[in-house]
Structure 1
Amino acid sequence: MAYNNGEARTALLAAAVTLFRDRGYDNVSVAEIARAAGAYPNQVTYHFGGKEPLFIHAASHAVLRTARLAEQRTRGSATPEAHARGLVTYLLGPGAKTLTMYAEAMLAARRVPALQQIIVTTHAALYDAGERVMADTFTRTGWTVRASPGEITRGFWVAVLGLALEKAALGASFNEADADAVTLMLVRLNTGDLTPTDTPTDQEHP
């Protein structure tokens, strides 16, 4: 298929997202990506500089899209708790493969400053978009929480991506207990809710 330069880059990126997400970095070749995109293998080098940079770009592109989908799906949440649960459940459910791919990209990019900058830029975009969405959500719903939109967004992504890094390093999968733990942490961080057993006291009891 004949592409102009912009079309070839877009097609390669889309094919890479699907293949890397579904099969992992080590199980995908440049030739397979090019074939799926209807392009030539040397176009991967031309547009991205090789397989690893393409992987970093693909993972970053995918996580931003998945974050937007999670935000869209939770727009109608009735409470802050339901909103947090909806975001976490989507990201650790349908979005789990994308989060794992992005976690692996974060680990890989740390070795190369130019690739690390892609991750830095992606993080900034996640935080900025999330903060705007949270501010809009608070204005629209009238919810009152303890933390600011920026603090909530940063805490959310630190928790979710930290969990994704742990799972990627261990070769483990997300489960319902992970979603429960992250949701509970976010709710307590943002609302200050404490159960009776969590209420601080002036002294310890024997």
Structure 2
Amino acid sequence: MDPKPVPAARATRRAGKHTRQVLFDAATELFLEHGEAVSIARICTAADAHPNQVTYYYGSKEKLFVEVACAAILRAGKQAELDAADAATIGDYTHKLVGSLLGTASPSVEIFVEAMVMTGRRGELRDLISTTLRTLHASGEAALLGTLTRTGWQLRASIDVEAKAFWSAIFGLVVQKTATGESFGYSLEEAVAVIFATLRIPDAVLNQSMN
């Protein structure tokens, strides 16, 4: 018995989802490597698509960039938590967390910072950034709460404030790195020290076991 034919409308939707995803994947790779300056033409060449398809599926290159940046920073945040999951002490936990975000994940953090700056000129994109920040902060709160539960570490501010302070410090360090390039003066140890100071983690706590 011949398979039931797929209705034309459903086939069109599937093709549209595929094209949208291919554009997103191509843009992700290029934006992470080169930043927002990548042209629509270059994205379309990589995706084997047409420039009008970027407009059709995303509205503009800027919206595509912001969507890519938001997805990238959420992946980076999850990966950083995984990278720090086996830490033995609070100091080691923070070191691994920051090392992940300012190391292998730094392109993701950098394009999200670019995207945040872009929303100052493109107000219609702010909801994407705001939603992503809320998700980041909520995830940070959950991770911090898990750390507190295991160690008994007492925060000096509310947990939501501490989570926001952590990400604000990370973004600030990345802005400095982006602005100064090779002259960026922070080693990983110094960057971690900035985070310690921002979160006001006492020295006596840093060697505390995570178990």
1:186 aligns with 2:202: no
Aligned to 1:101: 111
Q: Report the secondary structure of 1:138's partner residue.
A: helix
Q: Percent identity?
A: 32
1:1-16 pair list within 5 angstroms: 4-16=15-27
Q: CA contact under 8 A between 1:100 and 1:167: conserved in structure 2?
A: no
CA drift of 1:174 comes to 8.6
Aligned to 1:43: 53
* TM-score (structure 2 length as normaliser): 0.80
Unmatched runs of 5 consecutive residues or more in structure 1:
195-206
| 2: CA distance, partners of 1:108 / 1:100 | 12
Aligned to 1:86: 96
Q: CA contact under 8 A between 1:55 and 1:105: conserved in structure 2?
A: yes
| 2: CA distance, partners of 1:172 / 1:110 | 23
Q: Report the secondary structure of 1:145's partner residue.
A: coil
Q: Structure 2: which amino acid aligns with 1:144?
A: W
1:154 aligns with 2:171: no
* TM-score (structure 1 length as normaliser): 0.81
| 2: CA distance, partners of 1:38 / 1:193 | 54
CA drift of 1:54 comes to 0.9
Aligned to 2:186: 177
Alpha-carbon distance change, 160 to 174 in structure 1, aligned in 2, over 3 angstroms: farther
Q: Structure 1: which amino acid aligns with 2:32?
A: R
Aligned to 2:3: none
CA drift of 1:176 comes to 7.6
CA drift of 1:81 comes to 1.0
Q: Structure 2: which amino acid aligns with 1:150?
A: D
Q: Report the secondary structure of 1:177's partner residue.
A: coil
Q: Report the secondary structure of 2:186's partner residue.
A: helix
Aligned to 2:72: 62
Aligned to 1:131: 141
1:145 aligns with 2:154: yes
- What is the RMSD computed on CA atoms of the aligned residues? 2.3
1:111-122 pair list within 5 angstroms: 111-122=121-132
Alpha-carbon distance change, 176 to 138 in structure 1, aligned in 2, over 3 angstroms: farther
1:194-205 pair list within 5 angstroms: none
Q: Structure 2: which amino acid aligns with 1:93?
A: G
| 1: CA distance, partners of 2:194 / 2:70 | 26
| 2: CA distance, partners of 1:37 / 1:61 | 18
